[in-house]
Structure 1
Amino acid sequence: MKLILLIVIVLAVLWLARAGRRRVNPPAARPGPGAPSAREAMVSCAQCGLHLPSGEALPGRGGVFCSEGHRAAYEKEHAPK
């Protein structure tokens, strides 16, 4: 009986010590992905409407595109006649 009481007391002390340590030293907040300074404007592909970051978009006649194929297809469809 004394052994069980001793184990319970030791566990309670350890639990209280951990709870107190968490309260004193809260975990530091990690910056999430895409911090505000690293965000890019999203643009829409003129051919298919896919949204992508402006840094990945390909400029062309009539707008920006998600791929070379879409840029070529759009320019072929909208070529001056």
Structure 2
Amino acid sequence: MKFLLLIALLALVFFLLGKKQSRPPSSEGSARPVPGPVPPQAMVSCARCGVHLPSDDALPGKGGMFCSAAHRAAFEAEQARNA
């Protein structure tokens, strides 16, 4: 009977120690600030193919915004031929 009580007590101690170690650190004492949510970005469409992409990734050109340098060059060459 004493043996079972000792095993139960040891299991309880290991359970509590494991639960304490798996807890995430509190934000009060942490040195690094927790980043907030990222704000949404404006979306633009490519003037050549129409694909939508974030404005930060788009390339500006004479005819609008483009998804790649190749599309910008092709669009500007086409505009130069038509002019």
Secondary structure of the 1:43 match is strand
Structure 1 stretches lacking a partner, 5+ long: none
- Identity, in percent, stands at 53
- TM-score normalized with structure 1 length: 0.57
CA positional deviation for 1:69: 0.9
Residue identity in the other structure for 1:49: G
Corresponding residue of 1:73: 74
Q: CA RMSD in A?
A: 3.2
- Is it true that 1:31 corresponds to 2:32 in the alignment? no
Structure 2 stretches lacking a partner, 5+ long: 28-33
Q: Which residues of 2 match residues 12-51 of structure 1 at below 5 A?
A: 12-16=12-16, 19=19, 21=20, 27=25, 30-31=34-35, 35-36=38-39, 39-51=40-52
- TM-score normalized with structure 2 length: 0.57
Deviation by residue 1:21-75 (Cα, 9 ceiling, x = unmatched):
58xx76558536x623xx5322221112233332222111221001111011112
Distance in structure 2 (CA, Å) of the matches to 1:28 and 1:48: 49
Distance in structure 2 (CA, Å) of the matches to 1:63 and 1:28: 48
The alignment of Structure 1 onto Structure 2 pairs a total of residues equal to: 75
Distance in structure 1 (CA, Å) of the matches to 2:73 and 2:26: 49
Corresponding residue of 2:30: none
- Is it true that 1:11 corresponds to 2:14 in the alignment? no
